[in-house]
Amino acid sequence: MFPQALRLAQECEPAAVMLENVRGLATARFSGYREQVIRRLESMGYQVRWQVLNASEFGVPQLRPRFILVAMVPEVAVHFRWPDPQGTPPTVGEVLRDLMAADGWAGAAQWAVRANGIGPTLVGGSRKHGGPDLGPTRARAAWLKLGVDGRGLADAPPPNYAPVNHLPRLTVPMAAAIQGFPSGWRFSGRKTASYRQVGNAFPPPVGRAVAEGIRAAIAAHRIVPSEPAPVASCRAVSLRA
């Protein structure tokens, strides 16, 4: 997707571009490709900076470090600031307690006390991964400590007849809440397809925090149009790679 994002940036000539990917892109192993992308953006006249941000620093109850690259025209770049961490995130139990209790499970409150930490990185977005589960053995073990069966996903919350000590699985809406999606966000397809969308997503609170920094930088330079601009002459665009 990076080549397509670069193509769109060249065609649209936005004031700012944001790209995000897995943390591995920040490592020495991928330095050659990373520098190739940066040089291409610099050839278009952008100033480029990148950083690894952890979703848990922005209210997301999950360890999810992401590589984020922001490229801006010089007059905008001078005003840009990376977002500051927003404090301690809520626990998995705090985020999911009401969803676990939605069908009347009496053990939801007790479970939420046990799930008093943040979860490991959700995986499953890749088609190579297979069916919907919460990751390899190490990740499943981490979920088990939080009182979650990570071997698969459930179709519904625990029923009212489930024992108090029941070991629940997450549903797609629960996984979406762990990613920081607003309640009611709709995903397409059945369980596996929907979970792939969730598992491969950029947590919305992190995207919003960075985007607000970009917007503030653009506003500081006073290039925000008073009326919506046509797509072909957009002033700012966020592209996910």
Domain 2-86+203-238, second-level architecture = 3-Layer(aba) Sandwich (3.40)
> pLDDT truncated to tens, each residue of the chain (241 aa)?
889 999 999 999 999 999 999 899 999 999 999 999 999 999 999 999 999 999 999 999 998 999 999 999 999 999 999 999 988 999 999 999 999 999 999 999 999 999 999 999 988 655 555 566 787 888 899 999 999 999 889 999 999 999 999 999 999 999 999 999 998 899 999 988 999 899 889 999 999 999 999 999 999 987 545 445 444 444 444 444 4
Kindly give, in sequence order, each residue whose CB lies less than 8 Å from that of residue 35, ignoring residues fewer than 6 positions away.
none
3-state secondary structure of 237: strand
The pTM of this model reads 0.84
- Comparing CA positions, the residue from 163, 32, 42, 187 lying closest to residue 106 is 163
Kindly give, in sequence order, each residue whose CB lies less than 8 Å from that of residue 213, ignoring residues fewer than 6 positions away.
80, 81, 82, 83
- Comparing CA positions, the residue from 19, 12, 67, 79 lying closest to residue 44 is 12
DSSP assignment letter at 62: B
Helices (H), 74-171: 74-77, 92-100, 108-114, 137-145
**CA separation for the pair 104, 158 (Å, rounded):** 8
Q: What are the residue ranges spanned by the domains of the chain?
A: 2-86+203-238, 92-199
